[in-house]
Amino acid sequence: MSEKLEQLKERLAEVADISNATSVLDWDQQVNMPPAGNEARGQQLATLSKIAQEKFISDEVGRLIDDLQQEYDGADTDEAALVHVAARNYDKAKRVPPSFIAEQAIVTSRAFEAWMEARGKSDFSIFQPHLEKVLELVHKYISFFPPADHPYDTLLDDYERGMKTADVKAIFDGLRPKQVQLIKAINSAKQVKADFLYKKYNEKKLMDFGVEVITKFGYDWQRGRQDKAPHPFETSFSINDVRITTRYEADNPLATLFSTMHEAGHAMYEQGIHPAYERTPLSGGASLAVHESQSRMWENLVGRSLPFWEHFYPRIKKAFASQLDGVSLKSFYKAINKVEPSLIRVNADEATYNMHIMLRLELEIGMVEGKIAIKDLPEVWNAKMEEYLGVTPPNDAKGVLQDIHWSGGAIGYFSTYALGNLISVQLWEKITGDIRNLDDQIRMGDFSELLAWLRRNIHQHGQKYEPQQLVEKVTGSKITPEPYVRYLKKKYSEIYGL
């Protein structure tokens, strides 16, 4: 390794350490911190974020990157990838003043607490002024960058490298009518029974069952833990400290189980990144869509599959004998895959989930373009829910306030969820071609070969490849909706007799 590369890695490692310390504080804010600590926590996050930004955009780091780009130009190595990603991140970070980073940390910390209160009271007006300030900073952030084809491109690129708003719209425009057609066909079929899923389930037993499941998946508890939070999430402080959270919903108890599987999918990705990438820009997932492909794969393609429940159903039926009395495996499988337009995105079935994402993408683009005022969001949200899914939220908590993302300034994020769905099935078609007896392995509760495949083809690479590049490298095609449509049609034709 050249001396200059060693120097760059040392400086980038310090920046990574500070950023990870910031993540610890953010995790604590959502899991443990008392409400009165919010103001101080905002200042702490602001200080650390500003220090990390200042260290990263120093002239010395810039000179090292410039020199190393010439040295590694055209090379296809980990070192060249590190320099490339560092240069890209440096160029973006250099445009954003440290004072802005500090201000954003304070504003979003206050917005998170306001969102928590507003959601608890189902009163958007509490959150409105904070979201207006968040959006003001979003517009300011966009102004730091050269004009793009669409202002939303600048935001999207932070979460999905290289993806354009037009690209996402084109994918969604091709997907939407096919999903709408499928949903209509399902709506005209005889609905499956699922009332037994909504009885009272003991919270601790559900949590314990979820722990049993993700332990079999391969989540490493020596390098992770699970806690409760208002909105489930995964966060990493290093490859060896990857944490998840879940929540218990009394009116939808089994959501706890699927939330645990989902976040474990994210976490196992982070735990599988090559150890050599620790404390470098190559650590972390290739993109949020690729990350989401891992969580949706374990939650849905594995966790809602018939082979999975052929293994686990006797266990859950024993744990919840009264709730599942007289319920057959086939009836349970159909129930957890029931298609029914719903209010809450995270609990939506596979056939309707993407409609929730398309709605949010439209709202975000509208906000960024200035065509949708923040004060009108609840009304616009409800109208689009009725238009897209035929349901109207009864209150703000089950409508516009259900997601945490906007409180953290994460505008540009939502489309990655739907893209992740598409990638998950695109990968799954490749996986099932490579592992011919995968269903039989899952029936035995053996997920080791599946996880090994993901480690080898996806996880270990971290951010070495851009998302479209990685998907094409593994599957032979860039992100496409066709495999996902095939998967939905096959699955739901069997469940609903279409």
Catalytic residue list: 263
Q: At what angle do helices 151-159 and 124-143 cross, to 10 degrees?
A: 100
Q: Which two tokens stand for residue 124?
A: 């958007």
Residues 6+ apart with CB under 8 A from 229: 30, 31, 245, 246, 247
Quote the CA–CA distance of 364 and 380 in Å, as a whole number: 12
Residue 482 tokens, joined = 């066709």
Least Cα distance to 289 among 134, 473, 470, 491 occurs for 470
Q: Which residues pair with 244 in a beta bridge?
A: 226, 234
Contact 305, 487 (CB under 8 A): no
**How far apart are the C-alpha atoms of 391 and 43, rounded to whole Å?**
41
- Helix or strand (DSSP H, E) at 245: strand 241-246
Instruction: Give me the count of residues in the chain.
Output: 498
DSSP count for the chain of H helices, then E strands: 20, 3
> What angle, 0 to 180 degrees and rounded to 10, lies between the N-to-C axes of helices 165-187 and 350-369?
140
Give the C-alpha separation, 8 to 82, whole Å.
Answer: 10
What are the backbone angles phi and psi of residue 18, rounded to the nearest 5°? -65, -45
Find the helix or strand (DSSP H, E) in which 242 lies. strand 241-246
DSSP state of 302: I
Per the CB < 8 A criterion, the answer to whether 428 and 265 are in contact is no
- Is residue 257 exposed (0-12), middle (13-18) or buried (19+ Cβ within 10 Å)? buried
Of 461, 114, 452, 14, give the one whose Cα is nearest residue 276.
461
Record the tokens describing residue 51, joined without a space.
């220090």
Helical packing angle, 448-457 and 415-434, nearest 10°: 110
Interior angle at CA 291, CA 316 and CA 203, nearest 5? 25
Please report which residue ranges of 72-193 form alpha helices under DSSP H.
78-94, 98-121, 124-143, 151-159, 165-187
Report the alpha-carbon distance of residue 331 to residue 350 in Å, rounded.
18
Q: Which residue has the tokens 């739907």?
A: 418
